Each structure stands twice: as C-alpha cells, then as structure tokens.
C-alpha cells in the first residue's frame, strides 16, 4: 500500500491506464487512510468533515483514470454534507454539485472526501472551523495555513493524492507554502464558481492543491472553461498542457522590494534568496520591479472582502436552509439568534466590518476608495509584466506558526496574506511551490504571471521545482 500512496496523481493515473493498478484499489487505500485520520480524534490531523462511504464501482476509461479527489467543504456536492466549515450549514445536503467538482468527476476523479476549512473561507490558519482546527503534518502543534488548510494538510500527509481548494486572498497558496506542497490560484474567471459557497464573489477562485507542479497542471486542465451557470467565467484561451521545462533561459523574473523585504522572517528571506540564485543558474534574468501600491493591498482587501461577505452571508437567515434558532418569539429574534448561534467570531467580525463599510455615508470613504486602490494595484501588475515575464515573492512571510499563537490578534493573523493578496486583487494567476526549509519547516516561493499565462507559469514552476533540493515529505500519519 505504501508504494501505491507514494505515487503522484499523474503517475497513479498512468499506472491505472496501463492496467498495472486498479482504480478501486487506489481509492480503497486512500479511503482507509482518510477514515483513520477522521476517527483518530485529537491524535489525527482533522483534515476531513466527510469521507466516502464506499469505493465507487469501476468506470469507463477517462483522462483522470479514477484517481480520487478531496474537495474543500465549501463546494456543493449533491447529497453530501457541504457546510463551509460553519455550524449555520451543519448537515446541509445540496441538491446539486458545483460545476468544477462535476467536471472533474466526469473526467474520472471520484469524490474521496470533503476537507475541513476556516468558516466560509475566512482565515489564514484553519483554526476558525466550527469542526475544530486542522494540524500541520510537519508539526502537529502548528497550523497548516488557511483557509484551505484541510486540503493542504491532507495532500501533504498522503491522505489524498490531490485536492480542490479556493483562494480569495491567498487561501490556496499560503497553506500550500506552510505544508510544503504546490498550490495554484488560476486567473480569476477561468474556473467556474457555480456551486462554490460564496465569501467574496469578485475574488473567490477554485484551484488545485497537489504534491507537484505536473499534478497541478493535470487537474487544472479539466477545471478551466466557460460555464453558462457562472456569468463571471471565461473560456480559457488555450489547452492546458503538462509542463516539461528544465531550464529558464531567457525568462525575465521580476522581484518587487515591496513584497520581499519588510516583514519577511529571516529564514524565509534566506530560502527566497537561495531560490532566486537557483533560478539564475537555470538561465533566468533577475530584474527589480516596482509594485508601488502593493503595500496598500492588505488594507484594501480587508475592506472589499468583508463588504462582499456581508452581502453574501445575508442569505443565512434561518428561513430557507441551514440552521434555524428554535422557539424564537418573532422573525427578528429568529434572524438574530440564528446568526448569533450559527456564525463563529471571525465571520461575525467580518460581517460587521463589511456592513459598516457599505453603510450610508461611509460607502465612498471606504468601499469606493478600496476599489480605486484595487485598480491601481492591477495597473502596477500590468506595468511590471511589460518589463518581465513573471514576478517572484515569498508566498508567506513566515513558516507555519503555533496553534493559538495568533488567534487573539486578528491583525497579526491578517498579515499572513501580505504577499498573496495583491495577486488576488489584480486577478492574475499565481502558484506556490516549496523552495526550502527554515527551522525544519517548509518555505513557499510564489510565482505570478499575467492573466491566462498558466501554461508558461507552470513550465517555469516545473523547472524550478526540479532544481530545488527539497524533501517535500513530512512525517506520514
């Protein structure tokens, strides 16, 4: 079994296609591991909120060959609990499946499990889940990052071959960095959001969380495309291909001082500097670029995202679906008690911030100004990409921090998104790959490119991944 679980998703798909491995055997092996973690209580990682009840029947040959998929809890899956890490949706069974999950199932990736997450994707540590925190497989006393921490920890620990996450301000890339794996945020609009339980609609984007870059490309190839159910989705302009590059000859890499110096931990800076040196050895040219408005990205994000969340979460009123407060005296008290009991403290904090920012008299001062900053940030990226092919930064300013270390200080928690938020506001694709260790814990390298440059981005990431001397395997659980 250990040999089977050591296979990357792409290699497992090839073994199944060649008849050397059965899809049923692979699914059963991962299901057994997922169940063991779910049933381990405090001794486990707490990656999963639901695990498939049985191994699916054999299916016709398909591109993904039956390699099982773990899916973040906020993707609607028909007849399967889809709770977005919240008590207010506890036990909710959607009558439909999210487009991206359905597309991957049609391509041959059956649903293995639903993964734990920060409530409604609001968090950077997966400590905000109503179903308990997720633990980092490198060190169980530390966070896996968030909000897609369950997906990242499951892939890093070998409990799933690959997983779906969502990225609003860094929620794929940051946990991938803290868990020593690969996480890709695609260009906004390239993957359908239909069936994703919304946090901030102009920022949310689904993406792959995988062991290596090749697996990320394989999964992305079957995720992208226009969806008539999602008015923000766009037809991807080219076919996503598997990367093979081993060199970076002629590639211009931009390094913005605004995202690579102040606030970055010394160990992360050393790993980043080493990664840049290795990129130059592979033939890349390093250039300094300016993103002058990037230091304002976090402030703008924490106006825009809460504003959108306050609108999206207004639908949870106890009337149509989800939790309803019992024995309420009237309609207003039912609304109030349902939201009081159903939402966690971080969700309440962001709803209140967003409602305030959108209120009469403050809209232009806060929300309108944040939108103007967002436009400036997008312009900065466009100008930078006229000079260079890609922009490189650390993915996260620190390595994985201790459980509970930042829960009492929301501002310190928000700073974990400092390097990832600018790309989200600009809508451009970005990938995090492991580039070394600091104090025995993984450090992530973030590579961002222009809109719809995923193929070139994956090629560059693959070349760097092949060159790094990095053991991406934490202690298996």
Average pLDDT of span 169-196:
98
- pLDDT for the residue numbered 64: 97
Q: Could you confirm whether 252 is annotated as catalytic?
A: no
Among 125, 147, 310, 453, the one annotated catalytic: 147
Mean pLDDT over all residues of the chain?
95
pLDDT at 87 over 60: yes
When pLDDT is cut at 50, 70 and 90, the band that residue 31 belongs to is very high
Average pLDDT of span 332-354:
95
Q: How far apart are CA 262 and CA 31, in angstroms?
A: 43
First to last CA, the chain: 14
- pLDDT for the residue numbered 219: 98
- CATH code of domain 2-250+391-467: 3.90.1300.10
When pLDDT is cut at 50, 70 and 90, the band that residue 475 belongs to is very low
pLDDT at 477 over 90: no
Two tokens at 476? 């298996």
Tokens 């993406």 belong to: 207
Q: How far apart are CA 183 and CA 217, in angstroms?
A: 11
When pLDDT is cut at 50, 70 and 90, the band that residue 476 belongs to is very low
Q: Could you confirm whether 311 is annotated as catalytic?
A: no
- pLDDT for the residue numbered 221: 98
Q: How far is CA 107 from CA 12, 62, 110, 408, 428, in A?
A: 15, 6, 9, 43, 26
Strand order in the sheet with 252-256: 48-51, 111-115, 69-72, 162-167, 205-210, 182-185, 430-438, 441-448, 390-394, 252-256, 285-289
Q: Could you confirm whether 360 is annotated as catalytic?
A: no
When pLDDT is cut at 50, 70 and 90, the band that residue 327 belongs to is confident
Average pLDDT of span 121-143:
97
Average pLDDT of span 351-377:
94
- Segment among 53-67, 104-118, 162-176, 415-429 with least mean pLDDT: 53-67
Among 151, 171, 190, 432, the one annotated catalytic: 171
Two tokens at 310? 């306050």
pLDDT in tens, 301-325: 999 999 999 999 999 999 988 899 9
- pLDDT for the residue numbered 42: 87
Average pLDDT of span 265-269:
97
Q: How far apart are CA 212 and CA 462, in angstroms?
A: 8
Residue 402 forms beta bridges with which residues? 142
Q: Among residues of the chain, what percentage have pLDDT more than 90?
A: 91
Q: How far apart are CA 267 and CA 451, in angstroms?
A: 31
Query: Which residues fall within 8 angstroms of residue 331, CB to CB, at 6 or more apart?
Result: none
pLDDT at 65 over 50: yes
pLDDT in tens, 186-234: 999 999 999 999 999 999 999 999 999 999 999 999 999 999 999 999 9
pLDDT at 428 over 90: yes
Tokens 């398909």 belong to: 62
- pLDDT for the residue numbered 336: 93
pLDDT at 103 over 70: yes
Average pLDDT of span 325-347:
93
- Segment among 74-88, 123-137, 352-366 with least mean pLDDT: 352-366
Numbered ranges of CATH 3.90.1300.10 in the chain? 2-250+391-467
- pLDDT for the residue numbered 473: 55
Average pLDDT of span 439-448:
97
Contact of 367 with 307, CB cutoff 8 Å: yes
Residue 111 forms beta bridges with which residues? 69
Q: How far apart are CA 54 and CA 216, in angstroms?
A: 26
């Amino acid at each position: 079994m250990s040999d089977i679980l050591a296979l990357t998703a792409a290699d497992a798909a090839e073994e199944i296609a060649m008849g050397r491995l059965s899809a049923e055997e692979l699914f059963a092996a991962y299901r057994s591991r997922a169940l063991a973690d779910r049933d381990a209580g405090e001794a486990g990682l707490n990656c999963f909120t639901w695990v498939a009840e049985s191994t699916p029947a054999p299916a016709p040959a398909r591109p993904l060959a039956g390699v099982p998929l773990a899916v973040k809890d906020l993707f609607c899956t028909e007849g399967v609990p889809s709770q977005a890490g919240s008590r207010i949706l506890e036990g909710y069974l959607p009558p439909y499946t999210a487009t991206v999950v359905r597309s991957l199932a049609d391509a041959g990736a059956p649903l293995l499990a639903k993964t734990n997450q920060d409530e409604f994707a609001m968090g950077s540590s997966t400590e905000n889940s109503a179903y308990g925190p997720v633990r980092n497989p490198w060190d169980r006393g530390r966070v896996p990052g968030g909000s897609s921490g369950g997906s990242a920890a499951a892939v890093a620990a070998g409990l799933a071959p690959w997983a779906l996450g969502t990225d609003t301000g860094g929620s794929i890339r940051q946990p991938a960095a803290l868990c020593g794996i690969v996480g890709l945020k695609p260009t906004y609009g390239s993957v359908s959001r239909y069936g994703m339980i919304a946090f901030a609609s102009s920022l949310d984007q689904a993406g792959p969380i995988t062991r290596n870059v090749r697996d990320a490309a394989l999964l992305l190839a079957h995720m992208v495309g226009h969806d008539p159910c999602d008015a923000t989705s766009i037809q991807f302009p080219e076919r996503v291909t598997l990367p093979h590059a081993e060199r970076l000859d002629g590639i211009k890499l931009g390094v913005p001082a605004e995202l690579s110096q102040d606030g970055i931990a010394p160990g992360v800076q050393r790993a980043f500097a080493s990664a840049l040196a290795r990129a130059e050895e592979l033939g890349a040219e390093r250039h300094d670029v300016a993103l002058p408005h990037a230091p304002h990205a976090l402030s703008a994000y924490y106006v825009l995202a809460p504003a959108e969340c306050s609108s999206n979460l207004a639908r949870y009123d106890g009337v149509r679906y989800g939790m309803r407060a019992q024995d309420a005296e009237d309609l207003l008290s039912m609304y109030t008690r349902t939201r009081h009991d159903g939402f966690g403290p971080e969700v309440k904090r962001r709803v209140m911030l967003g409602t305030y920012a959108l209120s009469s008299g403050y809209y232009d001062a806060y929300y309108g100004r944040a939108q103007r900053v967002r436009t400036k940030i997008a312009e900065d990226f466009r100008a930078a990409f006229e000079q260079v092919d890609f922009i490189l930064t650390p993915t996260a300013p620190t390595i994985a921090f201790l459980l509970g270390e930042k829960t009492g200080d929301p501002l310190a928690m928000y700073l974990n998104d400092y390097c990832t938020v600018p790309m989200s506001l600009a809508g451009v694709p970005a990938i995090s790959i492991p580039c070394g260790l600091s104090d025995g814990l993984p450090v992530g390298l973030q590579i961002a490119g222009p809109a719809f440059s995923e193929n070139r981005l994956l090629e560059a990431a693959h070349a760097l991944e092949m060159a790094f001397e990095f053991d991406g395997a934490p202690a298996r659980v």
